[in-house]
Structures are given as structure tokens and as C-alpha cells.
Amino acid sequence: MLAGFALSMAGIRDSEAYRNIVREQCSIAVAENAMKWGPLRPAPDSYFFDDADELLRFTEANRIRMRGHNLCWHRQLPDWFAALASKQNARSLLTAHIRTVAGRYAGRMHSWDVVNESIQISDGRADGLRNSPWLSLIGEDYIELAFRTAREADPSALLTYNEYGIEAETPVHAQKRAAVMLLLRRLRQRNVPIDAVGIQSHLAAGASHRYGEGLRTFLRECRELNLEVFLTEMDVDDRELLAERNARDGMVADTYEAYLNAALPSGNVRALLTWGVYDRQTWLDHEEPRKDGLPQRPLLFDDELRPKPAYSRLLSSLQRYPSGGAPI
Ligand code: G3I
């Protein structure tokens, strides 16, 4: 079982304390932003690899495996994309990007999130596919094209489909799980090279958020398809909790533990990463802020990089299911 964090360039560049935590805690890491299209593609005909290269030099020097995130997504595309991409050139834009980026790091990556978040039930299609620019420009086989191109570019990285909103015991999550499973089965039937599923695991604390049977069934179905599972972006949104800090930290820790106790016994969870190292850098304060204006406390380390209750609870779950399998 590999474990670690999504890393920010600011943390890696500016803070020895941050680097130390990463060195101590991670056996795997991922760039929070540096390997996405936006940061990598300042202009249609040029690539900016400095940040991604620097990150990989740091992780390799510290024997930390690296995940790539991501090769094909509807968000964080560069500004020029909308103006330039067309039905005529979209296939070659996608394949050239994948060949260049996955090819540059070939042999050095643990895995790549090849396609990210391609299901959106509310877009209304029978197959659940999201109305992303890739779908409208290329058609539904863009997913297959991305995976096949990634395999050619880096035959040794584990190729992953990464998705959110498929963890909880709600009808909305259940519907999305079903659409993701349909997609995975279709990819398998068509011999598309795919090795793993990334369950993002953006969790939420509070009475209405439960994790259990639906997730267990999904994990079993992944195993039947011979797919490994990575929990790729764990954190706990605490918007529904009252402000008091200790109680909040306790309930966030409860959520991590309940989730891992549902997920880890499945036997095919091979890696687990939180989406950020410490609370101060969480994306949730920008995209899902609390109503009372307090910062969210979703991660394992606090603003001073001290471990929180969630850290020890996560460790004890990992010790209980050391290989993502049966309890010891
Ligand atoms: O770096 C630029 C900076 O130069 C610029 O001045 C500034 C102005 O807005 O933006 C900065 O970029 C921001 C970037 O984060 C780095 O901080 C982008 O605007 C902002 O959109 C971007 O947000 C990221 C978000 O994905 C959007 O793509 C978050 O950091 C990142 O945590 C989040 O991660 C996603 C995963 O990739 C996929 N799953 C969901 C997860 C959370 O949304």
C-alpha cells in the first residue's frame, strides 16, 4: 500500500518544513496542478515543464513514486484552447499532448490519470458522459483514444480512470457509480488499456454523509474487472460542522476512519493520497468555503504542519488493513 499527498510547487520550493513532512510521510505523490494542461501549455506550440520536472527531481531524490494528473480533463485547459480547438484538430491536439507529456516522463511514473471526470449525470446523456469539450470535438471515443495513446507513450505507467462523486451512500452517487462502471466495462470489452480506477474521495463530514455498501459493491466490481483502485484525492469537507475546532477535527477524523474501514477491506486498494499536505493549502476554501468564513480543516496536518486526529486514525486504519485487504 502506497500513501502520500498532492504536492504544491509553493510548498516544495519555499518550505523546508513542508519538504520534511513529504520526505517522512510519502511513498507516493502527485502534482496538485503542475502536470495539468493549463500549467503545461502556456501557448499552443510550447510546453512549460520546469515545475513538473522540478517536482519529479524532488520525489525521485527521495524515492517517492509519482502519479501523473492528468492527461485529459474538461477543466484547467489553457486559455487558447477554446479559440483554437476544432473538430478538425482535436484528435491531434489530444494525442500530441499525451505523446509529449507521458512520453517525456516515460518509465518514471507509477501511474497516470489518463481521463479525469468524464461522467456527469446531470448533462442528460443515456451513457452518462459529460458534455466536455473533448466529447463535443472528438466524440465518445476520445476516452479510448486517450488511453491507447498513453499506453504507447509510457508502457510502464498504470493507466487510470479518475472520478469524483462515487463514494457515498446517496442516490446521486449511486447513479454516478453505475455510469462509471458501465464505462469501465465498455473499455474492458473493447480491450482498451486501463489498469486502475482512481476514486477521488473528496469526502464530507456530517450525519447525511455515509460510506458503506455502495462503495463496497463498486470496489468488488472493480476487482472482478481486474482493476486496481487508488484513493487519489482524499479530504473531508467540514462545511456542515459547527465551528468549534476540537469537535470539528474529531468528526473529520471519524469520517476518514469510517471511509477507510469501508474501502480498505476490498483488497484492491493499492494507494491512498490526500489532496494537499496541510489545511492551509486546501482547494476547499476557494471552491467550497464555509458559511461562517472560517477556513476548512479537511486534511491530516494543521496550518502549522502538526498532525491532527485524522492522521492517527488514518494510520490505524492502514495498519489494520496493511495491504488494502483482510484485517490483521
Ligand atoms: O497559478 C495561477 C496563478 O498564476 C494565477 O494568478 C491565479 C489566478 O486565479 O490562478 C492560479 O491558478 C490556480 C491554480 O489552482 C493554482 O492555485 C487556478 O486559478 C485554480 O483554478 C486552480 O484550482 C485547482 C482546481 O483543481 C482547478 O483545476 C486547485 O488548485 C486544485 O486543487 C483542483 O484539483 C482538482 C483535481 O485536479 C481534480 N479533482 C477535483 C480537485 C478539486 O477541484
CB-ligand 1 contact for 48 (6 Å cutoff): no
**Helix pair 142-153, 171-189: axis angle to 10 deg:** 60
Distance CA 221, CA 166 (A): 13
**Residue with CA nearest ligand 1 atom 42:** 283
How far is the centre of ligand 1, averaged over its atoms, from the C-alpha of 212 (Å)?
A: 30
Predicted confidence at residue 327, as pLDDT, reads: 60
Q: Known catalytic residue: 140?
A: no
DSSP state for residue 294 in the 8-state scheme: P
Distance CA 253, CA 257 (A): 6
CB-ligand 1 contact for 283 (6 Å cutoff): yes
**Residue with CA nearest ligand 1 atom 23:** 283
Instruction: Write out the chain's pLDDT in tens, 328 residues.
Output: 999 999 999 999 999 999 999 999 999 999 999 999 999 999 999 999 999 999 999 999 999 999 999 999 999 999 999 999 999 999 999 999 999 999 999 999 999 999 999 999 999 999 999 999 999 999 999 999 999 999 999 999 999 999 999 999 999 999 999 999 999 999 999 999 999 999 999 999 998 999 999 999 999 999 999 999 999 999 999 999 999 999 999 999 999 999 999 999 998 999 999 999 999 999 999 999 999 999 999 999 999 999 999 999 999 999 998 776 666 5
Q: Known catalytic residue: 169?
A: no
Phi, psi of 279 (to 5 degrees): -55, -35
Distance CA 93, CA 90 (A): 5
And the C-alpha cell for 37?
494542461
Q: Where are the domains of the chain?
A: 2-320
**Residue with CA nearest ligand 1 atom 32:** 283
Predicted confidence at residue 267, as pLDDT, reads: 86
Give the up-direction half-sphere exposure of residue 2: CA atoms within 13 A in the CB hemisphere. 22
Catalytic site residue from 163, 167, 233, 257: 233
Phi, psi of 268 (to 5 degrees): -120, 15
- Is 2-320 in CATH node 3.40.50.620? no
Apex 70 CA angle, 12 and 54, nearest 5: 30
Three-state secondary-structure class, residue 177: helix
Amino acid at 158: L
Predicted confidence at residue 328, as pLDDT, reads: 54
pTM (whole model) above 0.85? yes
